[in-house]
Structure 1
Amino acid sequence: MNTIQIVLTDEQLDTLQQNVYVTVSNAISQARKDTALEKRYLRKKEACAYLGISNNTLDKWIELGFPRIVIDRTLLFDKQAMDDWLMNQA
């Protein structure tokens, strides 16, 4: 089996990693925008689906300061605030 080895400088590797991160982040953001969830405020189950995570993971994130809104015992999540929080975690 033939192999090809590509040698990159540290600067080239950093640039490549940054470009991949931005491309993937943009693709995820666009995919979320394209979902059927067009409303801004989501209930917990909808938030889990929007984020692609389990209920348990969301509970752990809430303990870490994940943004949420509680109105008369109703738990809601703002998509904009969730996206901002996630971007700040990176």
Structure 2
Amino acid sequence: MQVILPDEQIHQIQLLISDLIKQEIENRLNNSNLESPFLNKQQTCDYLGISNNTLDTWINKGLPIIRVGKTVRFDRFELTKWMHKQ
């Protein structure tokens, strides 16, 4: 089955999709929480410019973590202090 839409409806749909994509990109950027002093593992890897494997190695070497149940977070200030000591 083929649906034929007037040009105006096609244009409205294109604008709607474009707006939805822009909103999703903004949401993803805003939810990165880089303003927060507490980072998750991926944010910590991005912040330090290292891989997840390197992060795990550094944790074993004493990189300070905050553990709440199964959740692991990193304090940006403590990360910086630890890095200066290395």
Q: Superposed, which structure 2 residues align to 1:1-90 within 5 Å?
A: 37-89=34-86
Task: Look up the SS of the partner of 1:37 in the other structure.
Answer: coil
Q: CA RMSD, aligned part only?
A: 1.1
Structure 2 gaps, min length 5: 1-32
May I ask how many residue pairs the two structures share in their alignment?
Answer: 54
The CA distance in 1 between the partners of 2:70 and 2:34, in whole Å, is: 22
Letter matched to residue 82 of structure 1? L
Residue by residue over 1:18-44, the C-alpha shift from the partner in whole angstroms, topping out at 9 and shown as x without a partner, is xxxxxxxxxxxxxxxxxx711100000
Question: Structure 1 residue 60: deviation in Å?
Answer: 0.4
Q: TM-score, normalised by structure 1?
A: 0.58
Q: TM-score, normalised by structure 2?
A: 0.61
Moved beyond 2 Å, runs of 4+: none
Say which one has the larger Rg: 2
